[in-house]
Every structure is written in structure tokens, then in C-alpha cells.
């Protein structure tokens, strides 16, 4: 019995360089370009490809060092060993290509989006306001993607509504920010398929960048499915906005300038909130509260809940039916239509900056393109769009180069809106 166990253990520990090389190559190739974008398997494609596409050096450096170790051990001898080494080297090429793409493409694409939407002289607007948050002279985002503890004191975790932990929020602010100041404010709505809605650790690169530049960020929780049903999610976002307008001055914020952002489900909620200001349907119990926003930055969001045909639409509608809305799509289609930002477009909408990853395998990039195209036909204010090459869903959570370049661009956009409004009067 003991000898059989020893043989089994030795067999399991036997080096398998070819199998390992195949896994490493698949992982690297999937990070370079998603291997599939159809059906439920896209979720697995996302979870494995997301870290690789954002932080390829985390895989590349250990793989090279380990290959040297295994080579000295003799793992690459013989035909199978040589094949394994070749496949491993191919994975390094993919990872190197990802790193090069991440270093070279985000900033030009983001800058082009700012120029297209705001004009080539958009930075001149910032200079008209000496107190603009972008003029602090502090380091850029890639040096300041800090943790929550850097900006959130214990007294800065607040309750904005009656639903316990689901209605908690963190107020991100620099410790030296005057309590009687008038800092611009951003509400951050987390993603999570309307089933998580937890404020940590999403959008840390963006919030640390903005907080370091003198902004106040409010990161919220909200009620989620399946314990709660639509429209509880958007009601909580509206309630958080109402709390900000009433209380943020106590933290040094300006209630007259509140922007909103969020990713994935949070991108959907942020866009919908910005397009439905003061809508009593989503403000039960507080219909007179001001829930308007000065600007919106939805990131890889869902903007269409009503289209039943197309890539991944059948699975998405089924998910909403079972877990989120809990109403039959064919009988209650008006609920799904009303919850779709693309059906709420309006000429008087605030400025938008919409961001999406080219390789998003959870929410197809085509949905963002369609939203932007239709939005630009009706909006009077700028509607900016940046499609980030090689970016997966959730790209802005990790402190990667792409996430930090994105944070800088969003900061410039919000600062432009802020400076423009202050130039024309706080209520312009």
C-alpha cells in the first residue's frame, strides 16, 4: 500500500514540460486576443485573460526564470522537451507583445479622444482656472495608484441610506484638503453584474489619481441581486447622489459639481443615472431630491437591456430575467427598455466620456460603439469615446499602465468640465 502511494506521488510530481508549455502558450495567446467571445465560456476566457492582458510581466519574468531552472534540471531534453521549450518561448513572445502594446497604445488613443471631443486646445480651458484640480503639480497617476487607506479615514465611511451595509460608502479625500473647501466630487459606482455592488477594490487607480489632485471621490455599495430586484440598484445610486448633494460640503466637497463614473454594471448605472436626473420613478421616498450630475464617465458598461438578438444577447436577457429584473422579458419589456441608457438619450445630457476595451469578452465593444453613435446624434454637450486597444473587461481595476493612463485622461476630461463650468458660473 505504501509503495503504491509512493509510486503515485512520484508520477504526479514527474515534470511535464510539454503540458505546462501548452498551458502557458494558451494563457499568453488568450491575453493577447480572447480565444472566444461566444456563449458562457466567455466568462472563463475573461477571468484567465484579464490578468495576462493587463500585467503580462507578472507572468513573463517568473516564466523565464523558471525555464532556466528547469533547463538546468534537464526538463527540455529530447524531442518533447525541445517542443516544450519552443512553445514556452512563443508564450514569451505573446507576453512581450502585450507589454509593448500596453506601453505604447493607450495614451495616444486617450489623447485623441480628448482632442476629438474637446478640441486641440482643451488644456487651455484648464489654465483659465488657477484652482483647477489638475494644476496641483503632484505626480501623475502611475506614481499614485495608492490604497484606500491612503485617502479614507475611519470617519469617512458613511451610511447614505437605510439598507445597512448595502448603503455604505467611502469618502476618498486628501487629509490636507480643507473641510470648508469646494472640491469637485465624483461618485464611483462599482460593477459586478448587478450581483456584487461592493465598493472595494474597484477603480482604485482612478480614485487615487483624482483624490491626489484635490478631488473628493465617493465609492458606494448598493443593493444587489438576487436578494434584491431591479430597480433597487439604480434607486440606491440616486439615493447616494442625493446624500452627496446634502452632505458632501461637510467633507470639503462642492455639491454644485458632482460627476459620476462606474465600470461594467456600474457603467450601466452611472450612464442611466446621468440620463434620468430627478426621475421620480427611480426616487421613491425622495422625489424632490436633486440627482443631476455635471458629467458621466461610464466604463465598459451595458447600455442596452432590450435587444434580444445578437452576440451574447440571449444569455444576457436570460440572466436579467432570472436574477436581476425577475420579470418575464416578453411580458414586461418596458422595464427592460426603460433601464437601457441607449433609450434614455437626451439633448440636455451632461458631457460623457465613454471608455471600452477593444477585446472585452464580457460586454461586446459593439454595444459601446452603437451607444456613442446614437448619443452623438442628439447630445448638445461633448460625447467622448475611447476604445482601448487590447483591453479586456475590468482593465481599470489593476494598477496597470493602461489603467493609469486611463485615469489621467478621465481626470483631464472631468477637470475640463469643471473648469468650463466654473468659468461660466457654477450653475452653468
Catalytic residues: 264, 360, 393
- The residues near 3 (Cβ < 8 Å, ≥ 6 apart) are none
Burial 179-211 (b: 16+ CB within 10 A, else e): eeebbbbbbbbbbbbbbbbbbeebbbbbbbbbb
Contact status, residue 177 vs residue 212, Cβ threshold 8 Å: no
From CA 62, how far away is CA 68, in angstroms rounded?
10
Name the nearest CA neighbour of 91 among 73, 67, 119.
67
Instruction: Provide the sign of the torsion angle of the four alpha carbons 57, 62, 63, 67, taken in this order.
Output: positive
Give ∠ CA 254-173-252 in degrees, rounded to 5: 30
Provide the grid cell at 422.
Answer: 466654473
DSSP state of 153: -
Contact status, residue 105 vs residue 391, Cβ threshold 8 Å: no
Provide the grid cell at 325.
Answer: 429584473
CA distances from 191 to 6, 33, 80, 155, 287 (A): 48, 23, 44, 25, 25
Alpha helices (H) in 193-264, listed in sequence order: 204-212, 232-247
Cell 485622461 identifies what position?
409
Residue 159, classed as helix, strand or coil, is strand
From CA 258, how far away is CA 245, in angstroms rounded?
8
From CA 319, how far away is CA 306, in angstroms rounded?
13
Alpha helices (H) in 249-364, listed in sequence order: 265-275, 313-319, 333-338
Strands (E), 19-161: 157-159
Going by DSSP bridges, is the β-strand pair 157-159/183-189 parallel, antiparallel, or unpaired? Answer: unpaired
From CA 127, how far away is CA 132, in angstroms rounded?
8
Residue 314, classed as helix, strand or coil, is helix
Report the 10 Å Cβ neighbour count for 100: 11
Amino acid at each position: 500500500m505504501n509503495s503504491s502511494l509512493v509510486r503515485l506521488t512520484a508520477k504526479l510530481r514527474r515534470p511535464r514540460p510539454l503540458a505546462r508549455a501548452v498551458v502557458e502558450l494558451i494563457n499568453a495567446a488568450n491575453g493577447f486576443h480572447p480565444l472566444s467571445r461566444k456563449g458562457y465560456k466567455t466568462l472563463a476566457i475573461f477571468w484567465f485573460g484579464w490578468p495576462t492582458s493587463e500585467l503580462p510581466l507578472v507572468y513573463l519574468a517568473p516564466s523565464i526564470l523558471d525555464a532556466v531552472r528547469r533547463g538546468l534540471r534537464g526538463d527540455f531534453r529530447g524531442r518533447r522537451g525541445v517542443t516544450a521549450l519552443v512553445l514556452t518561448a512563443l508564450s514569451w513572445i505573446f507576453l512581450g507583445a502585450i507589454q509593448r502594446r500596453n506601453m505604447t497604445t493607450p495614451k495616444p488613443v486617450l489623447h485623441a479622444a480628448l482632442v476629438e471631443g474637446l478640441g486641440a486646445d482643451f488644456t487651455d480651458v484648464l489654465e483659465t482656472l488657477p484652482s483647477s484640480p489638475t494644476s496641483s503639480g503632484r505626480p501623475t497617476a502611475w506614481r499614485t495608484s495608492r490604497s484606500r487607506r491612503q485617502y479614507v479615514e475611519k470617519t469617512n465611511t458613511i451610511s447614505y441610506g437605510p439598507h445597512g451595509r448595502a448603503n455604505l460608502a467611502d469618502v476618498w479625500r486628501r487629509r490636507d484638503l480643507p473641510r470648508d473647501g469646494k472640491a469637485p466630487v465624483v461618485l464611483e459606482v462599482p460593477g459586478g453584474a448587478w450581483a456584487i455592488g461592493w465598493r472595494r477594490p474597484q477603480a482604485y487607480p482612478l480614485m487615487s489619481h483624482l483624490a491626489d489632485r484635490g478631488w473628493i471621490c465617493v465609492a458606494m455599495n448598493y443593493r444587489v441581486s438576487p436578494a434584491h430586484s431591479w430597480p433597487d440598484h439604480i434607486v440606491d445610486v440616486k439615493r447616494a447622489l442625493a446624500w452627496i448633494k446634502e452632505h458632501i460640503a461637510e467633507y470639503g466637497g462642492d455639491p454644485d459639481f458632482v460627476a459620476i463614473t462606474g465600470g461594467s454594471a456600474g457603467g450601466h448605472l452611472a450612464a442611466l443615472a446621468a440620463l434620468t436626473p430627478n426621475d421620480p420613478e427611480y426616487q421613491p421616498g425622495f422625489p424632490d431630491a436633486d440627482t443631476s450630475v455635471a458629467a458621466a464617465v461610464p466604463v465598459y458598461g451595458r447600455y442596452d437591456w432590450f435587444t434580444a438578438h445578437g452576440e451574447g444577447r440571449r444569455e444576457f436577457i436570460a440572466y436579467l430575467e432570472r436574477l436581476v429584473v425577475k420579470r418575464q422579458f416578453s411580458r414586461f419589456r418596458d422595464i427592460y427598455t426603460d433601464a437601457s441608457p441607449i433609450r434614455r438619450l437626451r439633448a440636455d445630457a451632461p458631457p460623457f466620456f465613454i471608455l471600452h476595451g477593444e477585446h472585452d469578452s464580457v460586454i461586446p465593444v459593439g454595444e459601446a460603439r452603437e451607444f456613442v453613435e446614437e448619443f452623438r446624434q442628439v447630445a448638445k454637450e461633448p460625447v467622448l469615446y475611447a476604445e482601448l486597444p487590447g483591453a479586456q473587461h475590468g482593465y481599470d481595476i489593476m494598477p496597470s499602465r493602461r489603467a493609469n493612463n486611463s485615469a489621467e485622461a478621465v481626470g483631464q476630461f472631468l477637470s475640463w468640465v469643471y473648469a468650463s463650468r466654473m468659468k461660466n458660473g457654477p450653475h452653468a
